[in-house]
Structure 1
């Protein structure tokens, strides 16, 4: 169940880098949740391949931040009283990651146009 993920991700050295999902946090998720996260991540990468090809290092950094934020949002949703654990986690993650990544890319493009 994803409830352990956030607690694990905020201990030790991971506290300084909350823009990545720690291996300990991933290991606390069910196999289905990790598989769904992989599928959603692959779809987002495929959709934004042009941006990844332009600036790969920057893109992977932003992708990791969006991925971690989507996981935190999904974990909060999974802990809600009416939630169904992993199902709520997967649904919220699948909804959040594409939106976060699109917003980050649009903000970056807007910043480039204003400079």
Structure 2
């Protein structure tokens, strides 16, 4: 199952030998809705955390990791090492999150 595939930010997995399969990634792009935008406008006046956006980014990261795992599984990987995130805005009202890393296959 893809959700059980090991994903680590480290370069090495202790006591494990592996061969590199290749680069894997998972990406998602989400847009803000009108209600969130209205609340954000109000929050920008008084300051503080914008919980709707925090929630959206957390959900985006989770989706990106799940898609990364699926990509690695389709390549026959046992794990992903050196996983990283990248994110950015698109057209001011959308947020893209990418999880990427190196797919590896365990060897005996």
TM-score range, shorter chain: 0.3 to 0.5
Report the structure, 1 or 2, having the larger helix content. Answer: 1
TM-score, normalising length from structure 1? 0.35
More relative contact order, 1 or 2 (CA 8 Å, 6+ apart):
2
